[in-house]
Amino acid sequence: MSEIPLPQAARRVAPWWLTRHETMLAAILLVALIVLGALNNRFLTLDNLLNQGRLTTEVGLIALPMTFIIITGGIDLSVGSIVGLCAILLGYSWKNFGFPLPLAIAFSLLVGAAAGFLNGLVITRVKVPPLIMTIATLALYRGLAEGISQARSVRGYPEWFYFIGQENLLGVPAQLWLLLIAIVIAGIVLDRTTFGRTLYAIGNNETAARFSGLPVDRAKLIIYTLSGLMAALSAVVLVSRVTTTRSDMGIGYELDVIATVVLGGTSIFGGVGTIWGTVVGLAMIQLLKDGLALTGVKGDATIVVIGTVLILSTLVASSLQRRRDGV
């Protein structure tokens, strides 16, 4: 009797945690940091790194719910426009409606959540695919920002408001605390709660998830609302940092956020991704831009490098992942 051939076990290239996308990326990041640090002695100072943390908060806050969304196989291109809309409404409601500033901030957060909720509602009820719905709301929300503001800026906020965007708390930039707290919460939710596992299930096979009785629509509604809410929070931080409102705020954020999330190992096809990966992606892009600038590389060359890094890192990480999976 001839031997029945057994399936080949996946060849182990290295321990599983070493070849995870996130670890590979962190390794690449470490190498980049060392190289850039060697080239320029002002790069690896605490002052600079904290400052970079301050500057990356706006994109970072939005990247967290975007991770959730992309894990479910969706996408949200309207985040940049929501930032613009909420920034405008923050100023507009404070100046034109006469809201006291804390109320204006709350109003702005509410509008952001509502904008995200609208996205989620149409995506789950009418079943418009996320890409299409958020392309439409990208135009709509930006248009609302332009129309409501009539291209006017609102400035002259009370001093305490600038604390969020410009001051330090215990030595660390104020908005960075916000980001760190958000990262911890998002990480716990995704990794440790049923909600998080529901997101992965939706991303892996939405139909199966539905038939398993998971609250698919409710989960989607929540994450898109969350995305709008974080975009609004990001807008508040931005207005505080630059002391004014403009209807073109946030233009292009969606691409920065998606690049961050995707670089961090979240698969655009859904079902795979971690908050930790997103954080590494965030750090990578920001520190790379900063390090290159300090080394003397100019703006146009920097974006070429970032684009190349994006493609190459994904290439390296995903081919190692495939080797690990024995594919």
Nearer to another protein, 29 or 290 (CB): 290
93 close to 108: Cβ distance less than 8 angstroms:
yes
Rule CB under 8 A: is residue 124 a binding residue for another protein? no
Place of tokens 């707290």: 181
Tell whether residue 27 is a contact of another protein (CB under 8 A): no
Instruction: Classify residue 116 by burial, with Cβ atoms within 10 Å: 0-12, 13-18, 19+.
Output: buried
Q: Is 21 in the site for another protein (CB under 8 A)?
A: no
Q: Decide if residue 151 touches another protein (CB under 8 A).
A: yes
Q: Which is nearer to another protein, 65 or 270 (CB)?
A: 270
Best CA proximity match to 225, nearest among 80, 90, 79 = 79
| Candidate ranges 13-21, 95-103, 142-150, 212-220; the one touching another protein (CB under 8 A) | 142-150
Helix, strand, or coil (residue 155): strand
- Shortest spacing between CB 28 and another protein, in angstroms: 15
**Hey, how many other C-beta atoms are within 10 angstroms of the C-beta on 265?**
26
3-state DSSP assignment of residue 8: coil
Binding-site residue total for another protein (CB under 8 A)? 82
- Judge residue 95's burial from the number of C-beta atoms within 10 Å of its C-beta, 0-12 exposed, 13-18 middle, 19 or more buried: middle
Task: Out of 60, 73, 116, 187, point to the residue binding another protein (CB under 8 A).
Answer: 73
Of 114 and 294, CB closest to another protein: 294
Q: Is 51 in the site for another protein (CB under 8 A)?
A: yes
Q: Which residue has the tokens 């629509």?
A: 217
Contact in structure between 69 and 226 (CB atoms under 8 Å): no
Q: Tokens standing for 20? A: 């995870």
Q: Which residue type is seen at 160?
A: W
Over the window 76 to 115, marking each residue x when it contacts another protein by CB under 8 A and - when it does not, the resulting string is ----------------------------------------
95, 106, 318, 323: which one binds another protein (CB under 8 A): 318
Nearer to another protein, 30 or 304 (CB): 304
- Site residues for another protein, 218-277, by CB under 8 A, read 238, 241-244, 246-249, 251-252, 255, 258-259, 262, 267-271
CB atoms within 10 A of CB 53: 21
207 touching another protein, by CB under 8 A: yes
> Under the criterion CB under 8 A, does residue 307 sit at the interface with another protein?
yes
Going from the C-alpha of 224 to that of each of 120, 123, 161, the distances in angstroms are 5, 9, 28
User: Which residue, 100 or 307, has its beta carbon nearer to another protein?
Assistant: 307
Residue 119 · residue 224 · CB < 8 Å: yes
Nearer to another protein, 90 or 133 (CB): 133
Is residue 22 within the footprint of another protein (CB under 8 A)?
no
Q: Which of 114, 135, 172, 180 binds another protein (CB under 8 A)?
A: 135
For the record, the structure tokens of 310 come out as 């994006």
Q: Give the footprint of another protein on residues 159-188 (CB under 8 A).
A: 162, 166
